[in-house]
Amino acid sequence: MTNKSLFAVIALLISVSVCTAQGQSIASQIIAREKASFEAWQKKDKAFFVDYLADDATFLGPRSPYMQMDPRVNFLPKFEQYVDMFKIIDFQMHNPQVQVYGNTAVLTYYEEVMADMGGKTMSYTGKVSAVYVKQGNSWRVVHAHESLNPGAQ
């Protein structure tokens, strides 16, 4: 192997290593941001959600047959009502996976939730996927989907 070939191989390995490290860093940021959303919900921190959700975010929830859209119009004005109606007692994220595509990342994970819904304690497990985009300095959710596992109330 010539010195030129050796340098090319070393440069490739360094490039792959840097990309992998950047991808792991982004994955850590996305997972931390998702966990922070549950903490913000528990703290009734509306300001967090103003930055967390893209203006055109959509959500497919397990209890509604419709896609929720336009969070600035349909979610944020009613935020206090929602957090009072659905109080998260405990949240666990299992096996989070992040796939990064430039300024877009897809997060998938299994959830375990205990919540108080209108005075009734409920526990359930489910599957979640969330699509994040980098807008400015923030990773923001543009779409999320939550599906409850069989047996959930």
Would you kindly state where each structural domain of the chain is located, as residue ranges? 3-148
The class level of CATH for 3-148 reads alpha beta
Reply yes or no on whether the pLDDT at 12 is more than 50.
no
pLDDT-based confidence at 2, cuts 50/70/90?
A: low
Number of H helices, E strands in the chain: 4, 6
DSSP letters spanning 66-114: SEEE-HHHHTGGGHHHHHHHEEEEEEEEEEEEEEEETTEEEEEEEEEEE
pLDDT at 18 over 80: no
Residue 112: which of 131, 129, 132, 89 has the closest Cα? Answer: 89
Place of tokens 């959500």: 59
Q: How far apart are CA 78 and CA 74, in angstroms?
A: 7
The predicted model gives 128-153 an average pLDDT of 92
**pLDDT the model gives residue 63:** 81
